[in-house]
Amino acid sequence: MAEATELMNEATGLTFEELEHWMGEHQIPRYRARQVWHWMYRKTVREWDAMRNLSAELRAQLAGEFRLRPAECRALEGISGETRKMLVGLADGEAVEAVLIPAADRVTVCVSSQVGCRFRCAFCASGQMGVSRNLTPGEMVGEVLLAIDQIGAHPDNVVFMGMGEPLDNYDALLKALRILNDGEGLAIGARRMTISTCGWVPGIERLKAEGLQVELSVSLHAPDDDLRSRLMPVNRRYPLASLMAACGDYSRVTGRIVTFEYTLIRGLNDRPDQAQAVVRWVRSIGGRVNLIPLSPVPEFSGEAPTPAAVEAFRTVLERGGINTTVRRSKGSEISAACGQLRRRVCGARGDAP
Ligand code: SAH
C-alpha cells in the first residue's frame, strides 16, 4: 500500500503544540497559535485570509506553508435534515465518503479512515477495491470540518465507521482523535467518538492502553467461526474467542461498554438460534448490540432480512438481556452502505473521475 502523500503540510494535521512550535521556530509570538487555532476550529474559516486579526504577512506565510483544508466536498447526496452523504475529495485526487446523520437531539458525523479497505468483508463495497492508502490525521479532521460547513454547527458525535479500518491506520487515527478532542478547538469529547473495527485484535489491545475513553464498536456479523470467516476474512487470523477476549479487556480497562454491530443477511445469519449464540458472546463481556439490515451491494448475492426476521432477532437478544438497537437504514436510497457513493461517482475500480 502506498503511504499517504502529503503534497503540502496540512494545518489540520497539527496538534496545538505543534502549531505553537512552528510559530516559535519562525520567530512569531506564540499567542498567534491560539488565534489561528480558534479561527480554524471555533470559527471554522475556509481561507487563511479570513483570519482578520493576523497580519497579511503572517497569513501569506501560513498559506505558503500549510494547506488549511486538505479535504473538499466533491458531491453531496440527500436533503438537509436527513442523512446526507458526502464525497470527499483529497489533494492527490483520491476520494472517500463522509456521512451526516441528524437525529432529534444530535448530529453524528461518520468519517472514513482509509481510501478503500484491505479487509475484504464479503458484503462491503469498500473492501472490494482493496486499499490504496491511509488517510492522514489532517484529512480525517478535514472531513469533520467539511461536515461542519454543511451542518452549520459542531457535531455531537464522530464515528469512524466510513471507508477503511481505523485500527489499521492507528497512529494517524490517534492523532486525529487528539486534535478533534482539543478543548480549545472542536472539543469533541472522547466519549462522543466511536472507533468501529472489523475485529483487528492488535489495534484493540493498543487502544485500551491509551488512557482514552473513546467508544469501541466491533463488527460481529456472525456468532460462529465458520460463518464469520466466510463473511469476514479477518476472523481466520483473529477468531471469535480471541476477539471477545480483547473486547472484554477493553471494557474492563476503559470502563466503556462495547457495542457489537450485526449486519443481518437473509437466511445467512438472521435465525433465532444464531441470535441466541450472539446473546452468549455479548453477555459474556457485558456488551450491547446494534442490528443493521444489509444494504445490498452488487458484488454480494446476500439480501436484506425481512422485517419479521429483524424483529424476531431483536426479541431474542432483548429477552437474553442484551441492550439492542436497530439501525433503520434510511439511507439505502442514497447509497448509504460503505463505499457505494464513491464507487458510483468514481467508477467500479474507484478511479478518480
Ligand atoms: N472497518 C470498520 C468500519 C467501516 S464499516 C468495521 O468493519 O467496523 C462500518 C460498518 O458498516 C461495519 O459494521 C460494516 O460491517 C458495515 N457494512 C459494510 N457494508 C455493509 C452493507 N452492505 N450493509 C450493511 N452494513 C454494512
DSSP 12-49: GG--HHHHHHHHHHTT--THHHHHHHHHHHTS--SSGG
Which of 196, 299, 334, 344 most suits a substitution to test ligand 1, by most atoms within 8 Å of the C-beta? Answer: 196
Q: 71-346 maps to which CATH number? A: 3.20.20.70
Q: How is residue 148 written as a grid cell?
A: 461542519
For the Cβ of 219 lying below 6 angstroms from any atom of ligand 1, the answer is yes
- β-pairing verdict for 114-116 and 131-134: antiparallel
pLDDT in the model for residue 320 = 98
- For 284-311, give one letter per residue: b (16+ CB within 10 A) or e: ebebebbbbbbbbbeebebebbeeebbe
Sign of CA dihedral 168, 173, 174, 175: positive
Q: How is residue 161 written as a grid cell?
A: 465507521
pLDDT in the model for residue 348 = 40
For the Cβ of 337 lying below 6 angstroms from any atom of ligand 1, the answer is yes
Nearest-CA neighbor of 62 among 44, 72, 49, 78?
Answer: 49
Q: How is residue 149 written as a grid cell?
A: 460547513
Domains 10-67 and 71-346 share a fold: no
The pTM assigned to this predicted structure is 0.93
Contacts of 153 (CB under 8 A, 6+ apart): 107
In this structure, whether the domain defined by 10-67 belongs to CATH 1.10.150.530 is answered with yes
Report DSSP state, residue 223. S
- β-pairing verdict for 84-90 and 71-77: antiparallel
Q: Please work out, in degrees rounded to the nearest 5, the angle formed at the alpha carbon of residue 126 by the alpha carbons of 10 and 163.
A: 35
Q: State yes or no: pLDDT of 104 exceeds 90.
A: no
pLDDT in the model for residue 102 = 87
Q: State yes or no: pLDDT of 333 exceeds 50.
A: no
Query: What is the separation of C-alpha 176 from the centre of its chain, rounded to a whole number of angstroms?
Result: 11
**10 Å Cβ neighbour count for 231?**
22
| Residue 291 identity | L
Q: State yes or no: pLDDT of 87 exceeds 70.
A: yes
Whether the Cβ atoms of residue 193 and residue 256 lie closer than 8 Å to each other: no
Across 64-85, average pLDDT: 92
Ligand 1 centroid, distance to 213 Cα (angstroms) = 22
pLDDT in the model for residue 353 = 25
Give the DSSP H/E element, type plus range, for residue 75. Answer: strand 71-77
Place of cell 436497530: 326
Ordered by start, the domain boundaries in the chain are: 10-67, 71-346
pLDDT in tens, 19-59: 999 999 999 999 999 999 999 999 999 999 999 999 999 99
Q: State yes or no: pLDDT of 213 exceeds 50.
A: yes
Across 274-302, average pLDDT: 95
Q: How is residue 337 written as a grid cell?
A: 452502505
Report the distance separating Cα 341 and Cα 90, nearest Å. 15
- β-pairing verdict for 95-102 and 193-197: unpaired
First to last CA, the chain: 21
For the Cβ of 295 lying below 6 angstroms from any atom of ligand 1, the answer is yes
Ligand 1 centroid, distance to 352 Cα (angstroms) = 23
Ligand 1 centroid, distance to 313 Cα (angstroms) = 19
